Amino acid sequence: MNILQTVQLQHLGLQPYKQVWDYQEQLLQEALAVKKELATNPAANISTNHHLLLVQHPHVYTLGKTGHEEYVLINEAQRASMGVEYYHINRGGDITYHGPGQLVGYPILDLEKFSTDIGKYLRNLEEVIIKTIGEYGIIGDRSKGETGVWIEPDVKGRERKICAMGVRCSRWVTMHGFALNVNTDLDYFTHIVPCGIPDKQVTSMAKELGESLDFEHVQQTLIRKFEEVFDVAILS
């Protein structure tokens, strides 16, 4: 019989990217310290904890560890004039944008308590998003060979990405995660080649539906779908 895992939820509001990145690293290191102790003392009465951080960021571009600098189409001075920060970070994936109106989620999970399969983990994250936007009548899908959630991925010229994903995993503990465009200002994506894919569009829930959404309602929907897909109890 599987033990139901619990995930501690934290609503971080609008927080600078670097501050939340550092916090993720802190939680990751805490989990790794527990794993190290258990490796030498299996009887120790300690356990890793799961976390889900939900946040919005001020305008920022982030480039994955194997990303391409040339996909950032504006220079440092131009970014500064627009009030956009820029970080080269340690997740997978290429360049993306985070900003107000975008629901960013960082699951810090010990996959040894779920499944030690990164591909399955990413498919589960995608399923959370597909189910979330499905509640609003938006049909999300996967694009072969490309991580994230798309709309009409198989219709040439109509492919558009609504949620980007990029993760890091250390000793089966995850960090980084997903960025769902809810009421996002999509103009900021015009200054990069989003996710390193030059010939496809980016969209948002607001653009698809023709109106802004209640951000808190979307957030609560996503929490329920996360519980459902990962078979966990989320505690706040």
**Which pLDDT score is estimated for 57?**
98
Q: Are 172 and 116 in contact (CB under 8 A)?
A: yes
Measured CA to CA, the distance from residue 122 to residue 220 in angstroms comes to 21
CATH code of residue 109: 3.30.930.10
**Secondary structure element (H or E) that encloses residue 120, with its range:** helix 118-134
Residue 179 assigned to a binding site: yes
**Which pLDDT score is estimated for 189?**
94
Give the pLDDT confidence of 171-195 residue by residue, as tens digits: 999 999 999 999 999 999 999 987 6
**Average per-residue pLDDT for the chain:** 94
Active site residues per annotation: 195
Instruction: Find the range with the poorest average confidence among 171-175, 194-198, 226-230.
Output: 194-198
Burial of residue 26 (CB within 10 Å: 0-12, 13-18, 19+) is: exposed
Residue 178 assigned to a binding site: yes
**Which pLDDT score is estimated for 61?**
95
| Mean pLDDT computed over 17-22 | 97
β 60-63/85-88 pair status: parallel
Residue 166 assigned to a binding site: yes
Buried b (16+ CB within 10 A) or exposed e, 191-224: bbbbbbbeebbbbbbbbbeeeebebeebbebbbe
**Which pLDDT score is estimated for 71?**
87
| Mean pLDDT computed over 10-32 | 98
Q: How many domains does the chain have?
A: 1
Q: What residue numbers bound the domain in which 114 lies?
A: 5-39+47-235
**Which pLDDT score is estimated for 154?**
93
Measured CA to CA, the distance from residue 124 to residue 163 in angstroms comes to 13
| Mean pLDDT computed over 215-229 | 98
Q: 17: alpha, beta or left, given left = phi > 0 and alpha = psi -120 to 50?
A: alpha
Residue 93 assigned to a binding site: yes
pLDDT band of residue 90 (cuts 50, 70, 90) is: confident
Percent of the chain exceeding pLDDT 70 equals: 97
Whether residue 235 is predicted with pLDDT greater than 50 in this model: the reply is yes
Tokens of 175: 């960090």
Whether residue 233 is predicted with pLDDT greater than 60 in this model: the reply is yes
- Dihedral, 189, 191, 196, 198 alpha carbons, nearest 10: 90
The whole model's pTM is what? 0.95
